[in-house]
Chain A
Amino acid sequence: MGRKYNSEGQRLAPAAPPATILTLISAATIRPRIYEWVISCGKAPADQAVKFSMIRFTASSIAAVAVTPTPMDPNDPTCIATAQQNCNAGAGEPTYTDTLQTISLNQQATFRWASPIENAIILPATVDNGVGLQFTAVSGGTSQYQANFLHEE
């Protein structure tokens, strides 16, 4: 069993989607597996709907805030994968390819996706490739959302 890490990111729901809230970026020496992720909004409740997609990318965002994955076991070494939050829309988005999940969600709901490790989303052992959680549609509002990725490597 590999080492487990959590990455946490935040972003305002974009007025003009798409825009990415959180990404996990692989490296040449590992094949990370995302086995759980959570999305929620802690701002004042409003009746809005948002569509999120988990999508593979072949180049990470060029305009995002770096996130350091935190080990679930404090004795584990620093994570080899890296992460980004709050990617800017447009030119700052990762170069996306295959959509792996589409989740439509009311702002007032919290969604958790978890799988047995053998059913997890696998990232390639390729530099700058990974998976991002993107706002793909927003019915209204610009509330701030929080996302967590849990992965093994």
Chain B
Amino acid sequence: MGRRYATTGAKVSAAGTTQLVLTSAATMRPRLYEVIWGSATAPADAALELALLRFTASGTGTGVTPKPFDPSDPASSCTAAENLTVEPSYALVTAMQEVGLNQQITWRWVTAPYEGIAMPAIAANGVGLKFITISAGTPTCQATFYHDE
């Protein structure tokens, strides 16, 4: 089993924008094995459609450093960003997951060990969590990615 890392990111929701991305490198094949999502904004009855999508160029956002689950592990070889202002280059049919959620719920997706979403050993390729639609409002949403590498 590889080393495990946690990456957190937040964004004010807006259709067609990306909340959090995890970007691979040429030296490894990271696997995203858990995602947690929720909103701490004052509760409102809004629905969001979210998707986990593969990309081939990582876009532009605020850099986030993946944190090791074991404090003795070295820094992650992956990079990450939250609150993207330039969208990644998503490949056409690459939704690894698409889920509809009410703003007031907390969603956790987790796989069996070793069965995460594998990313290629290619620089600037990775997976992003994107708001596809939102029915109303602009709640700030928080997400956590766990990956091993």
Which residues of B in the span 57-77 have a Cβ within 8 Å of any Cβ on A? Answer: 67-72
Q: Mark B62-95, 1 if CB is under 8 A from A, else 0.
A: 0000011111100000000000000000000000
Does B69 lie within 8 Å of A121, measured CB to CB? yes
Tell me the interface secondary structure of chain A in the complex.
strand
Does any Cβ of B come within 8 Å of A143's Cβ?
Answer: no
Does any Cβ of A come within 8 Å of B51's Cβ?
Answer: no
Does A140 lie within 8 Å of B69, measured CB to CB? no
B74 to chain A minimum Cβ distance, whole angstroms, is: 14
Q: Mark A34-76, 1 if CB is under 8 A from B, else 0.
A: 0000000000000111110100100000000000000000000
Does B6 lie within 8 Å of A99, measured CB to CB? yes
Bound: A99/B146 CA distance, A: 12
Does A101 lie within 8 Å of B36, measured CB to CB? yes
Q: Which residue of A lies closest to B70 (CB)?
A: A122
Q: How many residues of B contact A (CB 8 A)?
A: 31
Q: How large is the interface on A (under 10, 10 to 19, 20 to 34, 35 or more residues)?
A: 20 to 34
Does B42 lie within 8 Å of A139, measured CB to CB? yes
Which among B72, B113, B144 is the interface contact of A124 at CB below 8 angstroms? Answer: B72
Does any Cβ of A come within 8 Å of B8's Cβ?
Answer: yes
Does A104 lie within 8 Å of B141, measured CB to CB? yes
A29 to chain B minimum Cβ distance, whole angstroms, is: 16
Does any Cβ of A come within 8 Å of B16's Cβ?
Answer: no
Does A50 lie within 8 Å of B67, measured CB to CB? no
Does B113 lie within 8 Å of A56, measured CB to CB? no
Which residues of A in the span 127-153 have a Cβ within 8 Å of any Cβ on B? Answer: 129, 136-140
Q: Which residues of A contact B141 (CB under 8 A)?
A: 104
Q: Which residues of B contact A111 (CB under 8 A)?
A: 106, 108
Which among A113, A122, A140 is the interface contact of B108 at CB below 8 angstroms? Answer: A113
- B68, B69, B110: most-surrounded residue (chain A CB, <10 A): B69
Q: Which residues of B contact A (CB under 8 A)?
A: 1, 4, 6, 8, 10, 33, 36-43, 67-72, 104-106, 108, 110, 113, 141-144, 146
Q: Which residues of A contact B (CB under 8 A)?
A: 47-51, 53, 56, 98-106, 109, 111, 113, 115-116, 118-124, 129, 136-140
* 23 chain-A/chain-B pairs, Cβ below 8 angstroms: A47-B43, A49-B38, A49-B40, A49-B104, A50-B40, A99-B8, A100-B69, A101-B8, A102-B143, A103-B36, A103-B142, A111-B106, A113-B36, A115-B110, A118-B1, A118-B113, A119-B33, A119-B113, A119-B146, A122-B69, A129-B71, A138-B40, A139-B40
